[in-house]
Structure formats: C-alpha cells, structure tokens
Chain A
C-alpha cells in the first residue's frame, strides 16, 4: 500500500470505528474497534510522524471524547494504562534482565498502601495530631516518594536473593509477595497500619489544580465527571514517561549490560559487566514503576484491601509480558492491553451473553450430545470466573508455540 493511501485508510478506519462507538455507546465491540486502530497504526507502513499524529489524535482527543459519552470507556482505558505500566515494569525484570519475578504485585501493593495510609484519615490512628488525610497536593510528592520506596524495597529484596539461580529466585519472590500480603492482611494490630482485611477508605484523589483554569474558560464541569478524564490523562502521562525511561535505558550501557546478563551470565562477567549491581538496578527500576502505579491505583480506587494484590495479579502481569514478547516494549503494551480487554470486556461480555441465553431458554444443539437446554447450565459456568484458566492456557501455549511472544523485540544489528 502506498503511503497516502495507507494514511487515508487508517483515518477512515479510525473515524468509522469512532462513529460506531458514538452511535452505540454501550457496545463493547465498537470500543474494541477503536482500540484496535492503535494496533493497526503500529503495523501500518506510514512514516513515524504520521503515526505519532494519528496516535495522538486517537489517544488525546477521540478516546476522551468518547469517554464523555460512556464513562466506562475511560475506566477501561485507565485500567489498561495501569496494567501497561505494570507490564512494562515487569518487562524490565523478566524481559531485559531475564530474572523471573513472581512477586511483582508486592511492589504494586507497597505503592498503593503508601498513598492509602497517608492519603486517608487512616494514618491518624498511629500518628497523633490529626494531620491526616494529607491535602491532595501531596499526591504528586507521594508519586515521587513511591518511586524511591519501590526502588529501595526492590533493591532490599534483590540484595540477598540475586545470588540465587533462576528458579529459586522465582520461588523467593513468590514467597516475598506472600509475606507482604500476609503482613498487609494482619498489620491491623498491634499498631493499626493497614486496617487488615477490611482495607482502607476513603483514599484521597489527586488535586484538581487545573480547575480554576477550566472555569476561566467558562467550563463548569462537576468533579465527578472530571475525575475519570483526569485519571485517564494522568495514566497516559505516567505510561508515556515509563516508555520514555524504558527506551532510554534499553539503548544505554545499562540496557546492553542487562541483555548480556540475560543471554549469558558467565560471558557477561567475563566482559566486565558488574552483574550483581546491574541485576539490582533492574529489580529496582521495575519495582519503582510498579510502586508508582500503585499510588495512582489507590487514588483511583478510593478503597483498597489486600484482595487486590494476590498471586493472581502477579501471574496476570506475567501473562501480559509473555504474550506480548519478553523484552519488547510494544509487546508489553500490546500484551497488557490484550489481556486487560480479554478480562474486562470479552469474558464479561461472554458471561452476560450466556446469562441472556440461559434466561431466554435457548437450546444448544450439539451434533453428538443432542439438545442441551442452556437453562440447565449450572450458574457456576461463567467465563468471567475462569480467568486463571485463560492465563494458564496463555502461558502454556505461548511457551510451546511462540516463546518469543506476539511482538518479539527487534534485533537491530549493533555497529
């Protein structure tokens, strides 16, 4: 396809899908079409600048505009953004350095609880003075603080365990995540730090510092309508920053050292790569990403409890990285988007559809088994509840048939 044609085709596709989503604001399918335009864009044979312009239009203008019609779109987009950021963080550890971290969600939890404890009235319970909740302006301070704390805990965990071999490391990180979860679950006494399984609420939201500006332009938007949009742009910004940092790292001395370690640790040592320091750095960078997103997650959810940070989430993020391709930034983004959509939209949609069929009394005719009235299907049979099965299948099938992932990293020749 020649260039101008491709640009026109893409634009038509984007406009058509957006129009569909505009006409059917509740349709999952229409939204999927809008989202897939970004994927098409990635593959399209057009110049980098056109890609950026078109991509920015979709992300910055069209999606938020659709979000005003159906806030659920923005909610999904924010979720996707959070998981993209997590997947990018894990991608550094698993993809670049080649260390399997099964406890990644622990760092996410640390970030989330960091803001949850101090951004809600909860901290008053162990720090006297009635200082809390901190004003929303502290949100950004904590965002930066969480990067530091995440990096520190990552390094702290990494320091003793990085001498271990790959599979032992996996188990230890898994154990670490379980310890963190058990601590969060039980630290409501002797000092009530985390409020145990009941969780913490309400957690402060980030400040609406731009509100006066909007009012200056005569835009009066209720806070409730403003927040989804705000979170969307915040997530977009964070993901953008993370991508930037990742790409800079990937093509730096550090990134090359990481890949050397992944490919052959002994050769890397022989070449003078400070292996332990580099591994620690990888661990810390990945952890700091997760922790920063955790702060955002806590602010978005308003309520968090230990249930949000189970082993399941770690595996989910791992499945995203594997699906997209270990060590590939576009891969991690694609994997995170794909798995999140699968989880939030496709499986749920399938469940709803099945439920609808069940209630309408439809009969499924199977060639061998005869007629099966769907109303007889047990209520337990809901695809949305079987995400473990889906994740498991993704992991096994990808490992057997395409271990390098859907979008494997490009092997650019080194000069």
Chain B
C-alpha cells in the first residue's frame, strides 16, 4: 500500500528533486473518484449486473485518469511558475496546494452528497477470503493490492527504461538544460511525469478506498507522510527502492503494532505505530539520507 503511494512521490522527486506535498491529496482524490464511480454505478443499478472485473477496471481507470489530470493541472498552476525560483518557494506553494485541495474536495462533496465522509459500497467478490491453510487466510482485497503493486512496479520500470518518453524523463531528471538542448520538450516531460505520478496516486487511492472502505478529505495526510517515509527509506527517486521501502515500512509497522506492547509489558501499545514510522523517517534521514537503494543525494543549495 505505502509502496504504491511512494512510487508517486519518487516519480516526481526523481525528475524535479521536488517533494510534491500535494501528492497525498491527489491520492485522496483518487479514493473519492473511486467511491463516486461506484456510487453512481450503484444508483444506476449496474453494480450487480456488470462483471466484477469490468467494475474494478472502470473504477481504477477513472480514478487514475482524473488524479493524473489533477496532478497535471496542479503542476501547471501552482508549480511551473515557480520552478526557476528558490526551492523553498515551490515547497510552500505545494503545502498550500495540499491544504487547498483538502477543503476544495470537502466543499465539493458537502455540496454534492451533503457529507464528506463517504463509504465505499461493498463489493461482494472482494469480501471473500482465500484459505491457504486453516490458519492462514488471505482476503481478496489484500491480494488485489499486492498484485496491483507488483504489476505497477513492472509496468513503471518498463515505461521509464524502455520507452521513448521514459528516456525523456530520465534525461530531464539528469539535467533539464542539456535535455532541452537535445530536443526534449522539458515542460511536456515534466507534465507527463506529474500525470504518471498522479495516476499512481489515484490508483493507490482507489485501492485504499476499497481496502478500508471509508474515506474523508483529510485521510491522506498520514498515509502521505508514511509513503514519503517509504520513499526515503528505499532511496528517493529510485523506483524499486520505493517498493522495497514501502514493504519494509509496512512490515515494521505491523510488527510494531502487534509486538510493541508485548516487548514493553503493555506500557506502549499499537497506538505508537505512527511514532515508530516517523522515528524511522527521522533516523533514516539522519544516518542514511540516500536510503537503502539510493544513489547519493547531491549536496545542493537549499
């Protein structure tokens, strides 16, 4: 799960060396688009009649496209005018965008549905469990998340390393000025990167919504922070790194949630899993800022 969101951060960071603070809102937007599509299908009475795979595909694709477009719009409005300026300026603008989107989403949903806490309609085929042994049961939902994440990783890897646009992205990441001299349309590549990053965020959002079934405009903050931690853990700007980081962080948190109270005699319980995640972030940044699989972060002026 974290791995998926982390991929979006990494995409944008890798190219622009810029932390997209609003990524967590793009992610939530994806979750909301997903729930809206499902609710619309439900009110049209199609939820029971359509093939499950078709529903899933429809939800995911709409979520990805809309989130991707939103990320592109965001880049055009809030970031591009600031790209030449100091780094702090773009960062603050990103934080502003993040806050603005949260309330914009809330406003929209309040006017449209009269509430901004939305429940995913339950999909029967996803609520099943696959028994491996009698003790080990895997819910279909989790399987869906894992498989999608792996497919995305492979797809992204091919896209970045094998296609022409991917070459463009890597060129811009290395040196935008030289890339533009070589005839790479830098602005278009950056927009594309935001689209891909946003689409990944949207995908993660839809899956998040399906998995936890309740979304609200503010639910992106904590997953966003953790995904960032995951991206940093694996080495930011590094696609397999984001994946590894996400999985490690997920495991770490699950262990913290279940064993912390055992280890400390019940003094510290599962409520400290967020603390653990952030401590990991701080420790990694201090001791190994390049991450587990990362290249050395260039020491440049802030």
Which residues of A does B touch, CB under 8 Å? 98, 100, 102, 160-161, 163-172, 174-176, 178-179, 182-183, 185-186, 189-190, 264-266, 311, 315, 318-319, 322, 378, 380-381, 386-389, 391-396, 399-400, 403
Q: Which of A161, A387, A389, A395 contacts B104 (CB 8 A)?
A: A389
Q: Which of B19, B92, B274, B302 contacts A318 (CB 8 A)?
A: B92
Q: Are B85 and A403 interface neighbours, CB within 8 A?
A: yes
Q: Which of A100, A171, A183 contacts B275 (CB 8 A)?
A: A183
CA distance A387 to B95 in the complex (A): 14
B91 within 8 A of A: yes
Using CB atoms, name the residue of chain A closest to B110: A380
B127 within 8 A of A: no
Q: Are A394 and B225 interface neighbours, CB within 8 A?
A: no
Q: Are B93 and A395 interface neighbours, CB within 8 A?
A: yes
Q: Which of B91, B97, B104, B282 contacts A100 (CB 8 A)?
A: B91
- Which chain B positions have C-beta within 8 A of A266? 301
Please choose the segment from B111-119, B136-144, B150-158, B198-206 that sits at the chain A interface, where 4 or more of its residues have CB less than 8 A away: B111-119
* Chief secondary structure at chain A's binding surface: helix
Q: Name the distance in Å between B227's Cβ and chain A's nearest Cβ.
A: 12
Using CB atoms, name the residue of chain B closest to A100: B88
CA distance A261 to B302 in the complex (A): 10
Assuming the contacts A167-B302, A171-B281, A182-B274, asked whether A388 and B103 have C-beta atoms less than 8 A apart, the reply is: yes
Assuming the contacts A164-B289, A171-B19, asked whether A399 and B111 have C-beta atoms less than 8 A apart, the reply is: no
Q: Which of A166, A381, A388 contacts B302 (CB 8 A)?
A: A166
Q: Name the distance in Å between B24's Cβ and chain A's nearest Cβ.
A: 12
- The count of A-to-B residue pairs whose CB atoms sit within 8 angstroms is 146
* Chief secondary structure at chain B's binding surface: helix
Instruction: List 12 contacting pairs A-B, 8 Å CB cutoff, sorted by A.
Output: A164-B285, A165-B297, A168-B285, A174-B225, A175-B278, A182-B278, A378-B111, A386-B106, A392-B98, A392-B102, A393-B96, A399-B90
- Which chain A positions have C-beta within 8 A of B40? none
Q: Are B95 and A102 interface neighbours, CB within 8 A?
A: yes
Q: Are B91 and A175 interface neighbours, CB within 8 A?
A: no
Q: Name the distance in Å between A283's Cβ and chain B's nearest Cβ.
A: 15
- Which chain B positions have C-beta within 8 A of A160? 282, 286
Using CB atoms, name the residue of chain B closest to A266: B301
Q: Are B281 and A175 interface neighbours, CB within 8 A?
A: yes
Most chain B CB atoms below 10 A, which of A164, A167, A183: A167
CA distance A282 to B228 in the complex (A): 27
Q: Which of B77, B91, B97 contacts A392 (CB 8 A)?
A: B97
CA distance A175 to B107 in the complex (A): 28
Q: Are A396 and B91 interface neighbours, CB within 8 A?
A: no
- Which chain B positions have C-beta within 8 A of A163? 286
Q: Name the distance in Å between B302's Cβ and chain A's nearest Cβ.
A: 3
Q: Are A172 and B111 interface neighbours, CB within 8 A?
A: no
Q: Are A396 and B97 interface neighbours, CB within 8 A?
A: yes
Q: Which of A176, A185, A381 contacts B282 (CB 8 A)?
A: A176
Q: Name the distance in Å between A329's Cβ and chain B's nearest Cβ.
A: 19
Assuming the contacts A178-B225, A311-B221, asked whether A171 and B285 have C-beta atoms less than 8 A apart, the reply is: yes
- Which chain B positions have C-beta within 8 A of A389? 99-100, 102-104, 107
CA distance A381 to B115 in the complex (A): 10
CA distance A126 to B95 in the complex (A): 40
- The proximity string for B residues 270-287 relative to A, scoring 1 for CB distances below 8 Å and 0 otherwise, is 011011001101100110
Using CB atoms, name the residue of chain B closest to A94: B88
- Which chain A positions have C-beta within 8 A of B285? 161, 164, 168, 171-172
Q: Tell me the B226-275 residues at the A interface (CB within 8 Å).
A: 228-229, 232, 266-268, 271-272, 274-275
